[in-house]
Structure 1
């Protein structure tokens, strides 16, 4: 029983450390726990759309839930290591009856205190290898804290880049952007800039997949609401006379296709065309999509 509990506790701790590693430092589809929690919170927010998504708190709540699951699972794992060895391998402060403080709740308490690096000392390990193991748990607690800070510092700049691209597309959409205006050196430069920004956003979705589950309430800063226009712009520019514009349009189309591939493989799984993927992306974020997004009120987006 003792070694079974120890092995189970070690497996839980290693599972969480693996998930943290794949979520933050080596993003792949193998970091499944954080992705599953974020997806679950996102789906739950769809049931409470008027409160959670409109307020934009689905993403932050998902991150908070992931961190809580990480910390609680690690604490339970270490508690499973401590529990079979209580009270024999632990010292107790004066006034505490060891026989009354040797249950699973007490083991979890010791684990939480150690994980949080509080070091209260009312219950402390005395066995040699346990005295070495406890500081290791404190180090894991520090790693979780550092990982949480690194996660926040990574996700929110990625969200800022995504919203900046959406706003840039909104600016173009609301400006006179006829085929003649695009068919120029300036139009080629504009398309190149959009393609470069889309490449950055694609990398952000690969590096910080959790950023997908953040809702943007304003239409002008919502990428799901603007990608339809970007696709339409690439199609219109492909028929331009200027060779640089046609080249830039081809690069923009490739960037859009790459983004659609990442969105579909990692989140949507529609198996459809890029336009179909962008439509599904807009639907998942509660955004309507026409052939280029909602037209400007003054009609300046006519080709």
Structure 2
């Protein structure tokens, strides 16, 4: 019987996608932000989520003190959208033609030097493979009137993990690019990889993102949010493999929110690549701990015969 239960749990984890339920603490946080309506402690406001839309989106610091996170929010319960960023490696070996639909790409990401400094065998991020998020708005010297925001002023480090709640799912990306001043100051943009994980391959491409204002981007100040050279599978050949490599560290970071209460996504075993092995991210709920349901166990374990296993 024990072998049968263990096999069942293993099968569930191996077959799971990232589309599991959002951890309770993150879901409560998401719902609370929407119900509150707008940011009361904006770190910087005056941004657009949609071309031609309202200029009332903010980088919000309402929960910098209690949870040590910042996020993007509009008014009346609106969050951000998800435009598609295809900057970085333009001629991707993994291309299926969807990034090529973009009319606005740059041949490098904002943090190409840091990525190359990792010496991990890639020249830059690849929008098809690396789940990354665009944060920050910068202007060239001498250009006035453009609304800027620098996440580093608030402890957000380049290439740190960002949690993304989209389409009733939770994913992790890294902060790898910023918005330039070649248009209005925008928020709400991510790589094709993370958009595909969120909404499916047929729903997005370089010229077609997700326009509903229901995507929550959560950034985490501090060096513990940076996977670095060895903490992520930078040479992954699939988006799922790269996402898997961020999962354990991302699951630890979301424990900041509301005192924890959720274990986050489970890594898949079908990504076609390998990353760091998941570790116990929820003290008191590790392997061997007493449990009643799977929610009482930190990933990658489930509740088997009253014990996390």
* TM-score between the two structures when normalised by the length of structure 1: 0.24
For the pair shown, the structure with the greater C-alpha radius of gyration is 1
Pick the structure with more helix per residue.
1
Pick the structure with more strand per residue.
2
Where relative contact order (Cα < 8 A, 6+ residues apart) is larger, the structure is 2
* TM-score between the two structures when normalised by the length of structure 2: 0.24
